[in-house]
Structures are given as structure tokens and as C-alpha cells.
Amino acid sequence: MSRIQPSTVLRYAALTVGAAIMITPFLYMVSTSFKPQAFVLSNPPQFIPNPATLDNYVQALTTQNFGLYFLNSLIVAAVSTALSVLFSSMMAYAFARFAFPGKEIIFRVLLIGLVVPAMMLIIPQFILAKQLHLLDSLAGLVVFYVAGSLALNTFLMRGFFESIPAELDQAMQVDGANAWTRYWRLAVPLAKPAIATVTIFTFLACWDEFAWSLTIINDPLKRTLPVAIQLFQGQHSTQWGLVFAASLIAVIPVIIVFLVFQRYFVQGLTSGAVKG
């Protein structure tokens, strides 16, 4: 029998305390979502709701177009992600496989997109969206979400495409495959892990995006989830149970995606950083 070292015990003790601190707010949020309004800020606080109620969930789901907001978020995130992954994988393929005049400079300009935070462009983008009649429309969200995610996605996927042996490309070229075929039938299938990674990251970023949606959407029927949740808070004296029931409905898909595709998260985070 192997002896358990004291340092191992200490290590796990420290990790457990840390993890408990990280997770307590979530557990408390779940607990509050089952509390009646009278008990959300009671003293002492309740960890196990008593009486427990499903009213908050019922109210969140049945009133105020919550289903519609969920659908809006889903449509915007799905369309943005599909377009972003298509455009940026095409760019990444060109940067990884072709030599062409202007390549270096275009790639460098693209990198500007990595360092300019989205919030700093919100004013000129708002004015642009107004000129293009994209205000107050889901299309306005999609266009700017795609544009905002191009730089990072291209950067991540270029690295992956470069790691695919060029011989495969050349072999296909000898067989007479044109560039599009080589991209679509060879590079994309081989780059599945990288594409999965950027797909997940882009989808979550769009699903969670708040500031731009808050700024350009006025029509209550076009709201996305983050804006709607934020408004739950303001409408009455904050109904925390309702706010967190709505929050959890929005967060649970994210957590499921994260748990299922964990390894792609790790890949995506590290391919950008560690090799750098």
C-alpha cells in the first residue's frame, strides 16, 4: 500500500478550500432561485430554501417573452458563429497555405483586432450601424459579432492549418484538386479540433454579449437574454429569486456545453498562448 504523503493531503486541502470559495456563490444562486421573495434576503440566510418554490421558474418562463429572448439569443449566436467560423477559416487557410503580395501586412492589420477592445469602438460602430440601418435588428448584432470575432479566430486557426503537413495539400493538388476543394475537403476536416474550439468560444461570446445588444436593441421583442436578465432586476424592487431563475436558465446550456467540450476549451486557450 502506498503511503499518502502529508504534502498531498495539504495540496488537496488547499484546493478544496479554493474550490469551495469559487463554487459557493453558484450554489447560493441556485438556492435563491427556489426561494419566495420574502426569504431572499432573510437573516440568517437560507442555504436550503424553506419553503422551496418553483414559482420563480414558472414566472420567468411564462411572463415577459422569456422564450422569445432565448430564441433570439440562440439565433444570433448560431448565425454569428457559423459565419465567423466560415470566414475566419477561409482567411486562416489563405494565410497558412498561400504566398501572395500583401499577405504580411494584411495579417498584421488583422492583429489590430486582437488588441482593440470591443467597448472602445462602440460609439463609431453605433453610428455606422445607424447609417447601415442595422439599429434595432438582430442582423445588426450578427454583423458586428462576426466582425469582432474574426481576428482571434483567424489567428487560432492559422496556427492549426500550418501544422497540417503541406505534403497532403500538394498530393491533392497533383490529383487536380483546386484550392476550394483542398480547403473544404482536406483542411477543414483535418482541422476539426481547432474548428470545434473556435466554434465553442465564438458561440459563448455571442451568447453572453451584453454591451452591444444593450446599445442597439430598443424593441422589447428583439432583446437577447443578457439584456432581458438585466432588466428583470430593474423592473420591481429586485426580485432576486426571479433574476436567478432566469439567469440559471441562460447559464445551464453554457455549463453543459463547457462540460461536454472541455478538452476543446483547453486546446483553444493554450494554442494561442503557450506556443506564442
Contacts of another protein in 234-253 (CB under 8 A): 240, 243-244, 247, 250-251
Q: Which stretch binds another protein (CB under 8 A): 16-24, 50-58, 62-70, 156-164?
A: 16-24
Rounded CA separation 71/249 (Å): 12
Question: Which of 2, 5, 6, 276 is in the footprint of another protein by CB under 8 A?
Answer: 276
Q: Which residue lies nearer to another protein by CB, 222 or 250? A: 250
Rounded CA separation 31/40 (Å): 9
| Contact mark string toward another protein, 93..132, x via CB under 8 A | xxx--x-x--x--x--xx-xx-xxx-xxxxxxxxxx-x--
Q: Which stretch binds another protein (CB under 8 A): 52-60, 61-69, 191-199, 260-268?
A: 260-268
The least CB distance from residue 49 to another protein, in Å, is 14
The least CB distance from residue 28 to another protein, in Å, is 6
**All three cell numbers of 185:** 475537403
- Listed residue (77, 75, 72, 88) closest to 200, CA to CA: 77
**All three cell numbers of 37:** 421573495
Contacts of another protein in 49-78 (CB under 8 A): none
Does the footprint of another protein cover residue 217 (CB under 8 A)?
no
Does an H or E element contain 2, and which? none
Longest CA–CA span in the chain (Å) reads: 76
The least CB distance from residue 274 to another protein, in Å, is 5
Distances (CA, A) of 27 to 21, 23, 270: 10, 6, 29
| Contact mark string toward another protein, 125..164, x via CB under 8 A | xxxx-x------------xx-xxx-xx--x----------
Backbone CA torsion sign across 241, 67, 265, 201: negative
The least CB distance from residue 10 to another protein, in Å, is 9
Rounded CA separation 147/113 (Å): 9
Q: Which stretch binds another protein (CB under 8 A): 50-58, 62-70, 176-184, 191-199?
A: 176-184
Question: With the CA atoms of 208, 214, 220 and 223 taken in that order, what torsion angle do they form, in degrees rounded to the nearest 10?
Answer: -20
**All three cell numbers of 32:** 435563491
Q: Which residue lies nearer to another protein by CB, 78 or 90? A: 90
Q: Which residue lies nearer to another protein by CB, 61 or 254? A: 254
- Locate cell 483542398: which residue? 182
